[in-house]
């Protein structure tokens, strides 16, 4: 009997791993979509502005007119296919790096521009005392990170922070294609101000076409949850059969069920924690809070299954006693 119970606990553990793995698949594919736009979301739109003002003036306009709106801007150079300027008024999506780090909100506020390079970035660099710099137009940009290899990203690209006070803020706006990630209303207002047309990037169109592409993972999460649910029902039934063989009744029966049930649920809680740490170690999880909530919900459901089965058997037994 003990071996059967151990097997059921192992099945529950494997089911939790299956649930977490499906979440990992979903987040991995979402990350791929984000990587295709270099950290931008599906709200991204293209704007081609012909204004003669510089980049810093454009950023100043955004700061002045949309102080409470979340805006992230990428400016792709028209003449240099591998150069992109980045600015945001909030924390950007963190892209995975081979070394160093990606940009943070503080990097856009100062007077110094920073650089993040693709693995095969085509840009002049210089190393001074173990510090790497990008050398452009007699200006040096400190390299703070090297991006990991992903097929969705340009390996020869490099990214520079920009802002009103930074050297890159002096670049001419008309030399760049503006890529804005914000609400649809904000993007329309910006485009209207600059008399520019709004275009939808290809990666956004593809995502809209395949917006139901996660149904398979969702279905498998449900299947694994059902397996864990049924396993715990069976475990509760086996515990009930065990206690009935002891011929306990009344308060002794209830106390045994409560104490044993709490022990089982604590073991399953430990199994859930084990699944979380294993999944965090072995799988890609971009948002661990989602994994925590999903596993916690799964544990609550299987705990409810165990409790329901025991309570149902207990009430059934009491009714039989009363009828007798």
* Cα gap 135→268, rounded to integer Å: 57
* Cα gap 166→208, rounded to integer Å: 36
61 and 99 part of one domain: yes
Which among 200, 234, 254 is the end of a domain?
A: 200
DSSP 105: G
What integer pLDDT is reported at residue 207 of this predicted model?
A: 56
Does any domain span residue 206?
no
Does any domain span residue 82?
yes
Per-residue pLDDT of the chain (324 residues; tens, 9 = 90+): 578 888 989 999 999 999 998 888 776 666 555 445 466 777 788 888 888 899 999 999 999 999 999 999 999 898 877 899 999 998 887 777 888 999 999 999 999 999 999 878 888 888 888 889 998 888 899 999 998 876 555 677 899 999 999 999 999 999 999 989 999 899 999 999 999 889 887 666 665 555 556 778 888 999 999 999 999 999 888 887 877 777 666 677 777 777 888 888 899 999 999 999 999 888 877 678 889 999 999 999 999 998 888 888 777 766 766 655
62 and 176 part of one domain: yes
Q: Is the CB of residue 275 less than 8 Å from the CB of residue 16?
A: yes
96 and 178 part of one domain: yes
27 and 72 part of one domain: no
Total structural domains within the chain: 2
What integer pLDDT is reported at residue 211 of this predicted model?
A: 52
pTM for the structure as a whole? 0.57
43 and 83 part of one domain: yes
The H-or-E segment that residue 312 falls in is helix 288-323
47 and 27 part of one domain: no
Closest to 16 measured CA to CA, from 291, 247, 242, 310 = 291
* Cα gap 82→121, rounded to integer Å: 8
* Cα gap 308→236, rounded to integer Å: 9
183 and 55 part of one domain: yes
What integer pLDDT is reported at residue 269 of this predicted model?
A: 93
What integer pLDDT is reported at residue 160 of this predicted model?
A: 94
What integer pLDDT is reported at residue 35 of this predicted model?
A: 44
Query: Domain range holding 181?
Result: 39-200
Q: Nearest 5 degrees, angle CA 259-CA 264-CA 270?
A: 125
91 and 18 part of one domain: no
Q: Nearest 5 degrees, angle CA 263-CA 264-CA 269?
A: 95
87 and 110 part of one domain: yes
47 and 141 part of one domain: yes
256 and 119 part of one domain: no
155 and 264 part of one domain: no
Classified as helix, coil or strand, 267 is helix
Q: Is the CB of residue 71 less than 8 Å from the CB of residue 180?
A: yes
* Beta strand residue intervals within 219-308, DSSP E: none
């Amino acid at each position: 009997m003990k071996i059967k119970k151990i097997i059921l606990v192992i099945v529950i553990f494997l089911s939790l791993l299956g649930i977490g793995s499906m979440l990992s698949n979903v987040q991995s594919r979402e990350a791929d979509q984000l990587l295709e736009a270099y950290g931008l979301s599906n709200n991204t739109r293209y704007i081609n502005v012909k204004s003669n003002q510089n980049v810093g003036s454009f950023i100043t306009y955004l700061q002045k007119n949309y102080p409470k709106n979340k805006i992230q801007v990428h400016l792709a150079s028209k003449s240099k296919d591998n150069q992109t300027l980045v600015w945001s008024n909030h924390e950007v999506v963190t892209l995975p790096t081979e070394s160093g780090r990606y940009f943070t909100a503080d990097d856009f506020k100062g007077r110094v521009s920073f650089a993040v390079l693709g693995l095969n970035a085509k840009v002049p660099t210089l190393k001074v005392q173990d510090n790497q710099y990008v050398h452009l137009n007699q200006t040096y940009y400190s390299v703070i990170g090297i991006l990991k290899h992903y097929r969705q990203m340009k390996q020869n690209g490099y990214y520079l922070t920009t802002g009103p006070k930074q050297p890159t803020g002096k670049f001419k706006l008309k030399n760049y294609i503006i890529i804005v990630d914000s609400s649809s209303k904000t993007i329309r207002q910006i485009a209207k101000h600059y008399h520019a047309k709004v275009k939808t990037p290809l990666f956004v169109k593809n995502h809209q076409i395949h917006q139901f592409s996660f149904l398979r993972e969702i279905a498998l999460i449900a299947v694994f949850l059902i397996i864990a649910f049924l396993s715990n029902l069976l475990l509760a039934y086996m515990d009930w059969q065990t206690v009935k063989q002891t011929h306990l009744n009344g308060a002794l029966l209830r106390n045994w069920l409560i104490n044993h049930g709490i022990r089982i649920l604590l073991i399953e809680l430990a199994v859930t924690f084990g699944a979380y740490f294993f999944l965090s170690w072995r799988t890609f999880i971009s948002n661990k809070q989602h994994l925590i909530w999903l596993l916690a919900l799964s544990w609550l459901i299987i705990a409810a299954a165990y409790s329901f089965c025991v309570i149902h058997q207990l009430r059934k037994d009491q009714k039989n006693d009363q009828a007798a």
